Amino acid sequence: MDDAELVRAIEGNAAELLMRMGAAGGGGQRDDGGVRWTIGGSPIDYHNAVVGASLDDDSVDRVIAESLRELRDRGVPGCWHVGPSMRPLDLGKRLVAAGFTQAGAEPGMAVELSLLTGTAVEGLRVVRVGSDEDLAVWVQTLGRGFGEGVKEAEWVGEVYQRLGLADPWRHYLGWLGDEPVATASIYLGAGVAGVYFVMTVPEARRRGIGGAITLAALREAQDSGVRYGVLGSSPAGRSVYAGLGFRECCAIELYEWSGVPLVDGG
């Protein structure tokens, strides 16, 4: 893939994942060529997501207002994930003017899997989740340090139970002895392996475990014939992924709405 193809894959993989998770959570779906969203399937703003937009000056403000109304009517917070493909170019400014808050950016990163670097961590055993019992442990572990903690982990677990544990969904647990200490997930979509939900429990951090579980999951994807891995990193995780060979290809700007009332009777 060239750089433009990698950017499309970064955006496409995340959009597919969010749309499918939102649908499994019971969210409303819109995909009409102008805008693509899933809203109402999650209590987490990140997952009530607008993931695509190709709008002109005559329609953009109306569609932003429609997304706000959908969020308000369903009683959930939400987020626009504004990637390089989304239009118009001043979309971010319009979202802020409409009441969204700019919440930073996720570096969109990619790696050719044949060029992966990194090493295993002594004593770390990485196991793919293969049963509901394994998934329950994965959820419990994720809730110890990812995102909104137990609230987010339990929702993610419910959705993954509905979606099943077979491809394109792959989930991994990292164990030190009898203790689960790390999680990771792979979503196979848009022709690449997307990396999600990488988390190490607080007491086991700074030992290379997050990089090691990511490396193991991507090696398995490579063995299945996938050539590229992609992810949206937190700022803190960027150096970890760079150490595995990932490079930054784009930025996904996040604009959040927390549930404040709309103005002017919106």
Q: Which two tokens stand for residue 34?
A: 């102008």
pLDDT in tens, 66-115: 999 999 999 999 999 999 999 999 999 999 999 999 999 999 999 999 99
> pTM value?
0.95
Short-list 114, 111, 113, 37, CA closest to 78:
37
CATH for the 112-250 domain, from 3.40.50.261, 2.40.128.20, 3.40.630.30, 3.30.70.2190: 3.40.630.30
Exposed, middle or buried: residue 234 (CB in 10 Å: 0-12, 13-18, 19+)?
middle
Q: Which residue spans within the chain are E strands per DSSP?
A: 28-31, 35-39, 49-53, 78-82, 101-112, 124-128, 169-176, 179-189, 192-200, 228-232, 247-257
Quote the CA–CA distance of 203 and 5 in Å, as a whole number. 39
- Fold match flag (3-107+252-257 vs 112-250): yes
CATH second-level architecture of 3-107+252-257? 3-Layer(aba) Sandwich (3.40)
What is the separation of C-alpha 33 from the centre of its chain, rounded to a whole number of angstroms?
22
Q: How many CB atoms lie within 10 A of CB 48?
A: 28
All structural domains of the chain with their residue ranges? 3-107+252-257, 112-250
The 10s digit of each residue's pLDDT in 102-161 is 999 999 999 999 999 999 999 999 999 999 999 999 999 999 999 999 999 999 999 999
In sign, the C-alpha dihedral spanning 220, 224, 230, 231 is negative
